[in-house]
Structure 1
Amino acid sequence: MSRVLIISDSHGLTAEIEGIKNRHQADVMIHCGDSELDLDATELNGFLKVAGNCDIDSRYPNEQTPVIGGLTFYVTHGHLDNVKSNLSTLSYRAAEKDAQIICYGHTHIAGAEQIDGQLFINPGSIRLPRNRVEKTYAIMEWESSDNIIVAFHTVSGKKVEELTYRASL
């Protein structure tokens, strides 16, 4: 079983990131930007990281495309792809990278959805959520690409059941 922990839009929080990191065992941890921390901040040790529009450390990459558990991920913040309007640009960019899983932030709106063979995951924000009161992050688990589960959790670790999403790619 592969497991990826995904957070975004922590906007300066540190203890919360440490708490989330210490609570879960994950093969890979992803931060989708707007940490507002330096690239080498100890709280972000072990995270695959990308730049958000509020990150001032120029060492952050704008995107990353790791292969994890046999799936190709496209990780970006989303501000350069206009995600507040629609997911088209993000989808095209991920397709150029042959990615099936797209992790992004920027909107602060937690959710997962599958569109035309691509799975979009926005973990929400652990500081300033939109459309929900819960401050959230996500965990994606899978044994095979036809049985993917994306679960959302509050900063304190409580599962937000109604956001759980199942996908088959």
Structure 2
Amino acid sequence: MKILVVSDSHGDRQIIASLVKRYEQQVDGIFHCGDSELKLDDPLISHLHIVKGNMDLADFAPAEVEEVDNHRILLTHGHLQGVNDGLLNLKLYAKSKAADIVLFGHTHQLGVALDQGILFVNPGSISFPRGQYAAIGGTYAIISSAGQQLTVQYYDRQFNALNKLKFSF
């Protein structure tokens, strides 16, 4: 499995188009965690798994569950699960969906955690990052699996791997 995760592009259509062009043939899916601000009829939508964020006007689903190589992936923005206040509600939601990988955004802060067998990944905001790693600029993540091991590698907007932001579980 190899998937790309991006979030909170807030109308920056060009970066999403660049990610699709660069990676579409290299990954099993491109997952957008919401606040894309893309229109429902935008041709880019057909290249993405995408959910509705709190700033989206398009009527995307609030969450999506996808199966990729024996992984059950929950894609959501996170605002409906109160991720600004912690991951408890998101974890309970993930368990209700039997997900082992959860992709979310909303906070604009990248982060990764493994909790009770569930991998939580926030790719940060590709356009308006916040928090400890904001100085890097926008980020996205690629999650890959080899056997039972999952690896999360973060990248900057110039497609450079951020060596200090690589995590294996």
Q: Same fold by TM (over 0.5)?
A: yes
Which residue is 1:13 aligned to? 12
Q: Secondary structure at the match of 1:164?
A: strand
Q: For this pair of structures, how many residues does the alignment match?
A: 164
Counterpart of 1:155 (choices 152, 157, 168) is 157
* 1-structure distance, mates of 2:100, 2:123: 17
After TM superposition, the structure 1 = structure 2 runs for residues 81-100 of structure 1, keeping only pairs within 5 Å, are 81-100=81-100
Which residue is 1:101 aligned to? 101
Amino acid at match of 2:56: D
Q: Secondary structure at the match of 1:18?
A: helix
Amino acid at match of 1:136: T
Q: Secondary structure at the match of 1:73?
A: strand
Output one character per residue of 1:111-160: Cα deviation in whole Å (capped at 9) or x when no partner. 2111111100000011100122221001001132x211110101110111
Q: CA RMSD in A?
A: 1.0
- Any unmatched runs of 5+ in structure 1? none
Which residue is 2:48 aligned to? 47
Which residue is 2:37 aligned to? 36
Percent identity between the aligned chains?
34
* 2-structure distance, mates of 1:161, 1:113: 17
Per residue, is there more strand in 1 or in 2?
A: 2
Q: Is 1:140 aligned with 2:139?
A: no
Q: Secondary structure at the match of 2:15?
A: helix
TM-score (norm 1): 0.94
Q: Secondary structure at the match of 2:164?
A: helix
TM-score (norm 2): 0.94
Q: Secondary structure at the match of 1:66?
A: strand
Check conservation: 1:20, 1:155, Cα contact below 8 A. Answer: no
Check conservation: 1:136, 1:153, Cα contact below 8 A. Answer: yes
Check conservation: 1:111, 1:163, Cα contact below 8 A. Answer: no
Shift of residue 43 of structure 1? 2.7
Which residue is 1:165 aligned to? 167
Check conservation: 2:11, 2:36, Cα contact below 8 A. Answer: yes
Check conservation: 1:113, 1:120, Cα contact below 8 A. Answer: yes
Output one character per residue of 1:56-97: Cα deviation in whole Å (capped at 9) or x when no partner. 112x00001101111001110000000000100000001001
Per residue, is there more helix in 1 or in 2?
A: 2
- Any unmatched runs of 5+ in structure 2? none
Q: Is 1:113 aligned with 2:113?
A: yes
